[in-house]
Structure 1
Amino acid sequence: MLLGRPWGRCSPGRCVLFLILALLCDALGLVLLLLGILASLDYWDFLVYTGALILAFSLLFWIAWYSLNIEVSLEKLDL
């Protein structure tokens, strides 16, 4: 029952390292991207491209975190 569940039970899963790396890459990439877009610097293109690459790289950590947190029972695996 949805209304009977406690609201404060949130778990990061088994692979906390991948979650932390993904969040750090997202934060760093977003800061660099926005700094390159909004600041009037001579090297803005480096910041934009680097921020975009770090954001794209963080997708690998998100995929690894999600994939390693999938739980499948042995009955469904037919083992």
Structure 2
Amino acid sequence: MDCCRRNNPNERCALFLVLALIFDLIGFGLLLAGIFAPISFWDFFILSGPVLIFLSLIFWIFWYIGGLTVPYEDLLPK
């Protein structure tokens, strides 16, 4: 992926980091809205919040894997 081809380790896969944080925040917000808001369809919020938090794990894994570096010598055939 092109978003992971930066030289600075802090800039690697920033897109996946932002997506993971957005999914976590929205999921946590939906969960809290389902718990504390007096709405008639609260079960939708209580169930969809944790699903979004679970789906954010995909972006967290992509972010972590994209930040790994492999020395060039290990990529050469032996």
What is the TM-score of this pair, normalised by structure 1?
0.77
- Alignment correspondent of 1:65: 63
Please report how far the alpha carbon of residue 78 of structure 1 lies from its aligned counterpart in structure 2 after TM superposition: 5.0
**Kindly, what percent of the aligned residue pairs are identical?**
43
- Alignment correspondent of 1:6: none
Please report how far the alpha carbon of residue 51 of structure 1 lies from its aligned counterpart in structure 2 after TM superposition: 0.5
Alpha-carbon distance in 1 for matches of 2:10, 2:54 = 21
Give 5+ residue unaligned stretches, structure 1. 1-10
Give the letter aligned to residue 71 of structure 1: T
- State the Cα deviation string for residues 25-63 of structure 1 (Å, max 9, x = none): 000000000111122221111001111111011000000
- Alignment correspondent of 1:47: 45
- Alignment correspondent of 1:75: 73
Give 5+ residue unaligned stretches, structure 2. 1-8
3-state secondary structure, aligned to 1:45:
helix
Number of equivalences:
69
Alpha-carbon distance in 2 for matches of 1:21, 1:12 = 16
